[in-house]
A and B are shown apart, each in its own frame.
Chain A
């Protein structure tokens, strides 16, 4: 079912600028995808509008993630991506909001779609972006005492902290000597 993206774009431009004015920064189509960039302080209202407006009906939040633009030298550093889909209208779009390094806080869209719960936790875990009013913002993939946010560009592939878990090299009671595990240095430490 082909979707007329140009028509959707016009509709989006009319309705959104009517409500939010200058805070909608840009609406573009590239690679057959509709992308809307917004200011981060209206993200919840925009999402609410996109979900409830009968001409958009984005009822499924596909994906939330972030991109660290620091290696490209772009400011602001982080872009938060919301990929939306409408089951009723079978169209997709992407909402982008930028977060600077000094102010890593953006509002959670948990109140709009419950999917955002884990996806935002993952984004927090990987990028350190803080989602305000999130019900349970904890690390999800990395251990709770992990330091750093792995998907940031300044985080090396091999990690920074040395071995996370070490077993005792001493043989336990009744354990033969040859059963003592060999402890190797992490490659990243070299």
Chain B
């Protein structure tokens, strides 16, 4: 593949001057980037979360997706009921010991690359529930990328957490 004078990429095998629908026109204001950058760009701007509303924080997660805060500005509004279609697990709420195997299993079912946000005090560290039935932080069972503090965090805090995750994804090597 080589760049011709006319600014179009000649596909090997086509004769010069011949109009081919495969010929790609590069406009003058085109940006050139590595493939890795392009993949990162796509990944971080379409993080689809799995619906993992466990308790109170789920209400704030819904509020984040709803009209006023509008999570779709950041490309993350597509809440998927199935973990197989999701990239991000927002663990929104208290993870109890009875729920822990389920959370772990949903994480396992997600396709890589996958990320986890521990939303709220409960899923970060157990929060106000230091009791027999509550898991002291979801990081005991799944690796967590971003912790969002608060009980529950405000929607702005969750959005900030997602933006931090976007930055993090931007730094992760693709290959």
A125 to chain B, nearest CB (A): 11
Q: 0/1 per residue, A53-64, Cβ < 8 Å to B?
A: 000000000000
How long is the Cα–Cα vector from A163 to B143 in the complex, in angstroms? 18
A187 and B130 form a contact (CB under 8 A): yes
Contact of A142 among B98, B139, B140 (CB under 8 A): B98
A142 contacts across to B, CB distance below 8 A: 98, 133
Which residues of chain A come closer than 8 Å to B143, judged between CB atoms?
178-182
List A residues 148-190 near B (Cβ within 8 Å): 150, 155-160, 163-165, 167, 178-184, 186-188
> Which residues of chain A are near B142, meaning CB under 8 Å?
181
| Contact flag A157-B132 (CB < 8 Å), given A167-B141, A180-B143 | yes
Q: Does A135 contact B (CB under 8 A)?
A: no
User: Taking the complex as formed, is A73 at the interface, i.e. its CB lies under 8 A from any CB of chain B?
Assistant: no
Contact B136 A187 (CB under 8 A): yes
* Interface residues of A, dominant DSSP: loop
Inter-chain contacts of A181 with B (CB < 8 A): 139-143
- B120-164 interface code vs A (CB 8 A; 1 in, 0 out): 000000000011110011011111000000000000000000000
Which residue of chain A has the shortest Cβ distance to B125 in the bound complex? A184
* CB of A50 to closest CB in B, whole Å: 35
A188 contacts across to B, CB distance below 8 A: 132
- Contact at B132–A158, with CB atoms within 8 Å? yes
Q: Establish whether residues B100 and A157, one from each chain, have CB atoms under 8 Å apart when the complex forms.
A: no
> Are B132 and A182 in contact, CB atoms less than 8 angstroms apart?
no
Residues of A whose CB lies within 8 Å of any CB of B are 142-143, 150, 155-160, 163-165, 167, 178-184, 186-188
Could you list which residues of chain B lie within 8 angstroms of chain A, going by C-beta atoms?
97-98, 100-101, 104, 130-133, 136-137, 139-143
Given contacts A159-B131, A181-B139, A184-B136, 11 further A-B contacts (CB under 8 A): A143-B98, A150-B132, A158-B130, A159-B132, A163-B140, A164-B97, A167-B141, A183-B140, A186-B136, A187-B130, A187-B136
